[in-house]
Amino acid sequence: MNFNTKRGYYLCLFLIQLLFGLFIPISRAQLTIRVTSWPSQPSSPEIYLAGNFNGWNPGLTGYRLKLDSSGVYTITIQPSPANLEFKFTRGSWATVEKNAAGQDIANRKFTYNGGPATLNLVIAAWGGSQPSTASANVFLLDEKFPVKSLQRNRKIWLYLPPDYHVSPDKKYPVIYMLDGQNVFDKATSFSGEWRVDETLDSLFQKGDGGCIVVAIANGEALRINEYSPWINVQYGGGEGAKFLSFLTDELKPYIDQHYRTRPEADQTAIMGSSMAGLFSFYAGFERPDVFGRQAPMSTSFWFAPVVFDWIKDKVPPSTDIKVYMTVGTKEGGSQLSDMQKMYNLILQEGFATAKIKSDSDANEGHNEQYWSKKFPEVYQWLMKESTVFASGYPKADKKYIHCQDSTCYLNGTDCEGCEVEILDLAGKLIVRKRLDENLSWIMPDLKVAIMKIVSSKGVVYSEKYFSGR
């Protein structure tokens, strides 16, 4: 074969391949999911697919199933080969699928190898119709609390300690919890509740001082955007800074104004899991002056790898904040290794070992059941009052008495030569002693007492004391 003949041969071969490419469709790997049966009410629901392949968004338009000519809901997707997890919803986590008894079900799982595959599935029941499991001291603060920083609104629930209405002089620390649908009530939850109200009620009966909890509903389809200041090109993000402004400049001032809170940073915590864990971590280190306690649980650090560089400039020079990070060993992905990496980074930046806790729990997965079991331990460590303040501690504009463990101090005023009088509820004097240079003193072992700060001119300040944790 001479040169010209050989060239003509390869040219013809190229043209044939080109024609085949133009007129014969290329077969692409795809997964078809069919829902062959669903609850009778509503008879023609809008059904969505939410899973680890679309950021667990419960209402993405591109993942809405369509009713085909055979009367079956169908969707075809093209995920990467992986262990897929998913659930069906009617557009929100409040309407996620349940079992026939109306109970939460585990994530559906399918190992996808990249080839064509079809799943025929049945939906037994929808969420949103079961009775509330919230305690009597949980109430809906606002159905549409304005989120001015993002020009939208949000549902907010509030938990008040059992003695809130019978102890009018008592003030409480506050925990701000994300994914508020899942905090108190199984009826509103995505896949089970954290049982925060039942846990705090039980701990209160055992002597815990009590805590106010503000549960902020997530934005469902907007959840990922709001819970990360960083953008993930595949899943979204980018509104985290504005959502943080909502918490610090809009919601917290409202709560502090209308409820008897301890507004100080060391009495204010933020807590969440997964993407809400990422936001809790960001909020705590971005605004340690507001959130002095943080619990990022099962945190999705994978969503924003830039966070590992960001944290190097965010660890405060003084570690007055406390951090509790935790993860289950069966959560999959890089959850565990990312948490360990972040823990080491924070310590390298000079954070006090005693102020940060990082642990993992064997055989626990990425779900509300785990976080519910973990909450009591996290709460008690995170909110335990253990800091002894030095004279350089910043003072507030208003006078108040603050106690941590057995040490109390007067904040917000100069009081040279002042003394503290500690009286029982009958008015009997138990202790009278001069305040030290830090305006602090050691409390005797009392559950309830009256504390008066006295100067040569009379009583400077008076407050009823309830023993804390």
pLDDT in tens, 82-103: 899 999 999 988 889 988 877 8
Q: Quote the pLDDT of residue 147.
A: 96
Tokens of residue 292, six digits = 């002095």
- The C-alpha atoms of residue 169 and residue 390 are separated, in whole angstroms, by 26
Q: Which residues contact 405 (CB under 8 A, 6 or more apart)?
A: 385, 386, 388, 468
- The C-alpha atoms of residue 365 and residue 370 are separated, in whole angstroms, by 7
The distance from CA 277 to its chain's CA centroid, rounded to whole angstroms, is 5
Q: Quote the pLDDT of residue 178.
A: 97
- Note whether 374 and 335 are within 8 A (CB): no
Low-confidence ranges of the chain (pLDDT < 70): 1-28, 129-130, 317-319, 385-399, 404-405, 412, 466-469
Tokens of residue 52, six digits = 């680890």
Q: How many CB atoms lie within 10 A of CB 41?
A: 9
- Note whether 300 and 373 are within 8 A (CB): no
- Note whether 306 and 229 are within 8 A (CB): no
pTM reported for the whole predicted model: 0.65
Q: Quote the pLDDT of residue 467.
A: 65
Q: Quote the pLDDT of residue 78.
A: 92
The distance from CA 141 to its chain's CA centroid, rounded to whole angstroms, is 18
- Note whether 449 and 422 are within 8 A (CB): yes
Tokens of residue 277, six digits = 């864990």
Tokens of residue 103, six digits = 């109970």
Tokens of residue 252, six digits = 């917290």
Q: Quote the pLDDT of residue 298.
A: 96
Residue-wise DSSP of 352-387: -GGGEEEEEETT--SSHHHHHHHHHHHHHHHS---P
Cβ-count burial 155-193 (b if 16+ within 10 Å, e if not): bbbbbbbeebeebeebbbbbbbbbbbbbbbbbbbbbbbb
- The C-alpha atoms of residue 394 and residue 391 are separated, in whole angstroms, by 8
Q: Quote the pLDDT of residue 286.
A: 95
The distance from CA 229 to its chain's CA centroid, rounded to whole angstroms, is 15
**What is the chain's length?**
469
